[in-house]
């Protein structure tokens, strides 16, 4: 309060307060806070985004019914079918719409900056080029070359830094150059059109709204509301957006966080930990690309380093990273072009189906999860045996991947407990972190 008074006093030293607040019909302001030229730029940018939304349409739902779990359907919402090929397409659309609406990005913005593990960067590059604003992705110096190429192909520039410096550097560079640090981790909450799905001419981008609409329109789909929504968290934006939607509209769907082995999110959600402590010593690279918390050495602060809303998540579950890599290899072996976070989503969904295998629900157990990005992006890493042996050596590398793959296939075909079997049978460093 004190500093506010001080500012007022500095700006209007000679004006009596009564004059400032007096209503005078001759002095109705004629100037806009936003100049006409700027408003014109804004309108043009916003129209471009809504026309992009129209051309996005809806991404397909793919149904799996594992032979060994005949009462359940696992649906993958195929976000790799978007123009920038990941779940970030719809999110970044809403994030950029927010930034323009609130004047964070104007015709004068030198560039938009963000810290990214690649997918957000590619979508941001795309949306920024759509509105004619330069974009710089601040990425880890060892980012997959496939992802660097994606970002560049949509017109983005790359700045490589050590992985734990990404947020800090993106913020600094933006400040230095008259740019805007759009901060996907802190600002997902503000991307309003991502959480809602109003229908002023067009549907917005809430992924759960889209799923419900697709179930509604599908005559063969009996269960119209999923029993479970399963998803991992990077920014936490997607799972929180879905969770908020479910809570706000009083839906029965349970929201399950699928977390990676060394991530802090599980404890954050279940035990409310790591809000004021970094947990830097727990994180073990490489983790699962794009998700989990630990890349950033700062604590988990809602609205700053994360957008994960604990209160809208019902359950959380961890899987060993090597099991996730095994599922990745199995799914890609079956011709499903999906990345590691999708494999984790799938494993947790499969486990939910296993746990509920005797449940007496009237309709089929219906689990929905997300196909986040394509396997193509990981040919040089998670899908490369040499890389797996080198990067996941402590968990047994490819030998352990093979073992996990067998128990996972068994679960799909016979409805067995792959997690219990894998943890006892397959080599790896599990007990300490799970």
CA distances, 301 to each of 62, 121, 284, 293, 295 (Å): 35, 22, 20, 11, 14
**Residue number of the CB atom closest to ligand PLP:** 234
Closer CB to ligand NAG, 105 or 191, in the complex = 105
Distance CA(398)–CA(389), nearest Å, equals 6
Closer CB to ligand PLP, 150 or 429, in the complex = 150
CB of 337 to ligand NAG, least distance (A): 5
Compute the C-alpha angle 327/333/338, nearest 5°: 60
| 349-378: contacts with ligand NAG (CB under 6 A) | 371
3-state percent helix, strand, coil for the chain, nearest multiple of 5? 45, 10, 40
| 206-265: contacts with ligand NAG (CB under 6 A) | none
CB of 345 to ligand PLP, least distance (A): 8
Closer CB to ligand PLP, 42 or 53, in the complex = 53
Q: Which of 103, 155, 162, 178 binds ligand NAG (CB under 6 A)?
A: 178
At 305, list the tokens: 């380093």
- What are the residues whose beta carbons fall under 8 Å from the beta carbon of 32, sequence distance 6 or more? 39
User: Which partner in ligand PLP, ligand NAG, none is near 119 (CB below 5 to 8 A by kind)?
Assistant: ligand PLP
Q: Is 332 exposed, middle or buried (0-12, 13-18, 19+ CB in 10 A)?
A: buried
Distance CA(228)–CA(253), nearest Å, equals 5
* Residue 32 within binding range of ligand NAG, rule CB under 6 A: no
Q: Which of 384, 393, 394, 420 binds ligand NAG (CB under 6 A)?
A: 384
Q: Which of 10, 108, 431, 432 binds ligand NAG (CB under 6 A)?
A: 108
Give the 3-state secondary structure of residue 62: strand
Q: Which of 56, 58, 68, 81 binds ligand NAG (CB under 6 A)?
A: 81
Q: Which of 62, 161, 225, 423 binds ligand NAG (CB under 6 A)?
A: 62
Q: Which of 77, 82, 72, 73 is nearest to 62 (CA)?
A: 77
Compute the C-alpha angle 84/208/148, nearest 5°: 20
Helix (H) / strand (E) containing 37: helix 36-56
* Residue 338 within binding range of ligand NAG, rule CB under 6 A: yes
Closer CB to ligand NAG, 132 or 198, in the complex = 132
| Site track for ligand NAG across 269-308, x = CB under 6 A | ------xx--------------------------------
**Interacting span for ligand NAG (CB under 6 A) from 47-55, 179-187, 193-201, 330-338:** 330-338
User: Which partner in ligand NAG, ligand PLP, none is near 373 (CB below 5 to 8 A by kind)?
Assistant: ligand PLP
Give the 3-state secondary structure of residue 78: strand
State the residues that interact with ligand PLP by CB under 6 A.
Answer: 87, 117, 119, 232-239, 289-291, 339, 341, 372-373
- What are the residues whose beta carbons fall under 8 Å from the beta carbon of 200, sequence distance 6 or more? none
Helix intervals (H) in 218-367: 237-248, 265-271, 321-333, 340-355
Closer CB to ligand NAG, 198 or 285, in the complex = 285
For 302, other C-beta atoms within 10 Å of its C-beta total: 16
For 166, other C-beta atoms within 10 Å of its C-beta total: 25
Distance CA(251)–CA(245), nearest Å, equals 8
Closer CB to ligand NAG, 81 or 159, in the complex = 81
* Residue 387 within binding range of ligand NAG, rule CB under 6 A: yes
* Residue 55 within binding range of ligand NAG, rule CB under 6 A: no
Interface contacts to ligand NAG, rule CB under 6 A: 38, 62, 76, 78, 80-81, 106, 108, 178, 275-276, 336-338, 371, 380, 384, 386-387, 390
């Amino acid at each position: 309060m004190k500093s506010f008074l001080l500012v007022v006093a500095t700006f209007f030293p000679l004006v009596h307060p009564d004059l400032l607040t007096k209503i005078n019909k001759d002095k109705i302001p004629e100037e806009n806070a936003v100049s006409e030229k700027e408003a014109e730029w804004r309108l043009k940018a916003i129209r471009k985004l809504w026309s992009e939304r129209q051309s996005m349409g809806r991404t397909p739902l793919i149904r799996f019914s594992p032979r060994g779990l005949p009462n359940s359907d696992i649906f993958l919402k195929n976000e790799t079918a978007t123009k920038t090929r990941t779940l970030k397409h719809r999110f970044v659309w809403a994030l950029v719409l927010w930034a323009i609406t609130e004047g964070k990005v104007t015709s004068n913005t030198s560039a938009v900056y963000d810290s990214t593990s690649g997918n957000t960067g590619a979508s941001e590059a795309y949306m920024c080029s759509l509105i004619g604003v330069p974009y710089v992705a601040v990425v880890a110096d060892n980012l997959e070359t496939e992802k660097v190429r994606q970002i560049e192909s949509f017109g983005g520039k790359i700045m490589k830094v050590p992985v734990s410096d990404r947020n800090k550097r993106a913020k600094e560079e933006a400040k230095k150059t008259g740019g805007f640090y759009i901060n996907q981790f802190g600002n997902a909450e503000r991307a309003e059109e991502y959480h809602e799905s109003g229908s002023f001419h067009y549907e917005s981008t809430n992924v759960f709204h889209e799923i419900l609409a697709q179930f509604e329109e599908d005559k063969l789909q009996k269960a119209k509301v999923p029993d479970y929504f399963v998803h991992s968290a990077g920014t936490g934006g997607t799972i929180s957006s879905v969770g908020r939607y479910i809570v706000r509209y009083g839906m029965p769907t349970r929201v399950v966080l699928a977390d990676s082995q060394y991530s802090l999110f599980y404890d954050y959600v279940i035990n409310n930990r790591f809000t004021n402590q970094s947990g830097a010593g727990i994180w073990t690279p490489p983790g699962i690309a794009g998700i989990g918390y630990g890349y950033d050495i700062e604590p988990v602060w809602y609205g700053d380093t994360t957008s994960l809303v604990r209160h809208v998540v019902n359950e959380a579950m961890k899987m060993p990273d090597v099991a996730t890599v095994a599922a990745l290899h199995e799914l890609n072996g079956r011709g499903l072009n999906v990345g590691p976070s999708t494999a984790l989503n799938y494993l947790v969904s499969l486990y939910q189906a296993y746990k509920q295998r005797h449940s007496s629900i009237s309709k089929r157990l219906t689990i929905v999860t997300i196909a986040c990005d394509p396997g193509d992006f990981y040919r040089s890493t998670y899908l490369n045996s040499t890389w797996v042996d080198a990067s996941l050596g402590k968990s047994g590398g490819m030998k352990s991947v093979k073992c996990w793959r067998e128990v996972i296939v068994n679960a799909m075909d016979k409805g067995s407990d792959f997690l219990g079997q894998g943890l006892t049978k397959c080599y790896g460093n599990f007990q300490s972190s799970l």
